[in-house]
Structure 1
């Protein structure tokens, strides 16, 4: 048996109410993804190396490889414990319940403007290239073309959002889905960041929340299931704890807070963290421009 350290509140409640059956969708060193029969969503068992997130349960284990979990292993709940075949049983009795809530957009945006500039400069130096950030060292023809497409489509998307031409913006957002390298393609990760900012209460773009849902409706067949789940959750403002901390730092934090939070996001995946961070940058820029602060 393993004890969960922490977990998404709704995930824990689902286990406590025995409303989860399914099978193992995919396995990695630090995550096991479960397909839930009840709602068709993916739920994630994560090692202690991973932060809290939507539909995620973090267990007391540095790596999950030793558990020998296989794709298609049966998942069920019994006696308020999550079971994967006869290989793993997880108790949530001692787990800290986590509910990720995005901060509100402040009325005074002077701090945001300063932090946005710092963030852009830091990503330029420390961000991981290969996705939204161009490779400088010996890029292949594929890398060059992919960077060009990502840059062109994100610019077109933001121009239409700023001009309030939402139908055309939708077209450009959809063109990013599935585009780029990685298990979660760069275009998807960028949209996760952008959706996060659109979902900030009291922000200039908060009234365009429905845009995220419209993009999501077209995303299902354009990307893989893992990336789709990240988009689905981000479309309603549900993202990983590290991303929420970074947003807090952008809106209200001091310089040291910003760099600490930004580093944690930049370390997500290969280029995923950088792609998400650049999506956040675009969303914050758009809010400042609409608010007449940039």
Structure 2
């Protein structure tokens, strides 16, 4: 399964499942236990000596070999290494990487190899090589890709994941833009929701009727309904006239108030079994080209 999380893109072997997912930590297991751990940091790049010291704290019972790690020249700021742990531990060996990511972030990967010898070790090495071969770092461009549990989307590179959950029937991710002005409020917020089964949620109602219950505070009526490009089948836009004036622009610049502009886009995906909802507030709601790109990238992908 393909993943893109916090600027790092990779493909997991078929028998590895993500068992722990947080903003700055991911763990994938197979039947033998933990196989992959990724830790993200928001910081300036650390010196190599500091990285080695941090690794020793993370795996205090391990010995590290920084001269024989995997070779991955295409990735930025790679510190590669191998590690060995006592034979009685669940993961007696493994390889690791430390990568530089855009927007002053770094990622540390630990790939555990729980089987010390034999055919199973060769299978471990094959799976590890496939994982490392799939690693790419998202470029520091206008949009950053995200993909998890079969859901794909993209957000502006400067937007950070604020909250998320993946529950049966409802996936939710919210990204906040950079804090601006004296109020230090985000310049904008983009929220993605994937809900289903659509037939049980709609129960014969239109998307507009359903959206009025899902977003009861939004002005969803024929006055705010607008044309719907791309995959959208329904869209509403509510922008205050004041926000488009010179005074409104001044207020946003000085105070950092994102304003009450919003655009809600809805459509059905996965053979009309899932409802896709994209809500943009603040700056993204005022940028139609960006909205089109966000909708175009937001989709369900095969597992």
TM over 0.5: no
Please tell me whether Structure 1 or Structure 2 has the larger radius of gyration of its CA atoms. Answer: 2
Flag the structure with higher helix content: 1
Flag the structure with higher strand content: 2
TM-score with structure 1 length normalisation? 0.21
Considering Cα pairs closer than 8 Å and 6+ residues apart, tell me whether 1 or 2 has the greater RCO: 1
